[in-house]
Structure 1
Amino acid sequence: MSLISNRRTVLSILAAALAIASVPATAQVVPGELRVSAIPDEAPTELQRKFKPLGEYLAKATGLKVVFTPVTDYAASVEGLVNRKIDMVWFGGFTFVQAHHRSGGKVTPLVQRVEDEKFRSVFVTASKDINKLADLKGKTFSFGSESSTSGHLMPRSFLLAEKINPDTDMKRIAFSGAHDATVAAVAGGKVDAGALNISVWEKLVAEKKVDPAAVRVFYTTPTYFDYNWTVRSDMNPALKKKITDAFLALDASTPEGKEILALQRATKFVPTTASNYTSIEAAARNAGLLK
Structure 2
Amino acid sequence: MPKKLLSRLLLSSALLLGAGAVQAADCSHRGVLDDKFCDENKDLVADSPTDPSQWRDPSTLVFTYTPVEDPAVYKDAFSDFQKYLSEVTGKKVIYYTVHSNAAEVEAIRSGRLHIAGFSTGPTGYAVNLGGYVPIAVKGFADSFQGYNLIVIVRKDSSIQAMDDIKGKTVAHTSASSNSGNLAPRALFPEQGITPDTDYTVKYSGKHDQSIMGVLSGDYDAAPVASDVFDRMVTAGRIKKDDFRIIYTSPRFPTSSFGYAHDLHPDLVKKIKHAFSSFRFPPAMQETFNGTDRFYPITYQKDWQVIRDIAHATGTAYTKTGLKKLAEKDAAKAAKKRAKQLAAEAAKKSE
* TM-score (ref. length: structure 1): 0.82
2:221 equivalent among 189, 193, 210: 193
Once the 2 structures are TM-superposed, how far is the Cα of residue 279 of structure 1 from its aligned partner? 2.0
The separation in 1 between residues aligned to 2:12 and 2:218, in whole angstroms, is 27
What's the counterpart of residue 286 of structure 2?
262
Letter in 1 for 2:236: K
> Superposition RMSD on alpha carbons, in Å?
2.5
Q: Deviations over 1:165-207 (max 9, x none)?
A: 111110x211211111111100110000112111111111122
What's the counterpart of residue 341 of structure 2?
none
What's the counterpart of residue 20 of structure 2?
none
Once the 2 structures are TM-superposed, how far is the Cα of residue 141 of structure 1 from its aligned partner? 0.6
Once the 2 structures are TM-superposed, how far is the Cα of residue 116 of structure 1 from its aligned partner? 4.7
1:150 equivalent among 179, 182, 191: 179
How has the CA–CA distance of structure 1 residues 18 and 194 changed in structure 2, closer, same or farther, with 3 Å as cutoff? Answer: farther
The separation in 1 between residues aligned to 2:13 and 2:70, in whole angstroms, is 20
Alignment of 1:1-291 (within 5 A): 17=10, 20=13, 31-103=58-130, 106-114=131-139, 116=144, 118-126=146-154, 127-170=156-199, 172-251=200-279, 257-265=281-289, 266-275=291-300, 276-290=302-316
> SS of the counterpart of 2:241?
coil
Once the 2 structures are TM-superposed, how far is the Cα of residue 264 of structure 1 from its aligned partner? 3.9
Letter in 2 for 1:285: H
Q: Deviations over 1:208-251 (max 9, x none)?
A: 21122222222221112231112121212222222222222233
Structure (1 or 2) with the larger CA radius of gyration:
2
The separation in 1 between residues aligned to 2:231 and 2:145, in whole angstroms, is 19
> SS of the counterpart of 2:303?
helix
The separation in 1 between residues aligned to 2:307 and 2:165, in whole angstroms, is 26
Structure 2 unaligned spans of 5+: 1-5, 17-55, 318-350
How has the CA–CA distance of structure 1 residues 280 and 16 changed in structure 2, closer, same or farther, with 3 Å as cutoff? Answer: farther
Q: Deviations over 1:140-159 (max 9, x none)?
A: 11122222223222233221
CA contact (8 A) 1:116 1:227 kept: no
Letter in 1 for 2:169: T
Once the 2 structures are TM-superposed, how far is the Cα of residue 134 of structure 1 from its aligned partner? 1.9
CA contact (8 A) 1:43 1:178 kept: no
> Percent of aligned positions with the same letter in both sequences?
26
Structure 1 unaligned spans of 5+: 1-12, 24-28
The separation in 2 between residues aligned to 1:75 and 1:270, in whole angstroms, is 26
Structure 1's consecutive aligned runs of 4 or more residues displaced over 6 angstroms after TM superposition are none
How has the CA–CA distance of structure 1 residues 116 and 17 changed in structure 2, closer, same or farther, with 3 Å as cutoff? Answer: farther
Once the 2 structures are TM-superposed, how far is the Cα of residue 40 of structure 1 from its aligned partner? 0.7
What's the counterpart of residue 4 of structure 1?
none
The separation in 2 between residues aligned to 1:18 and 1:52, in whole angstroms, is 33
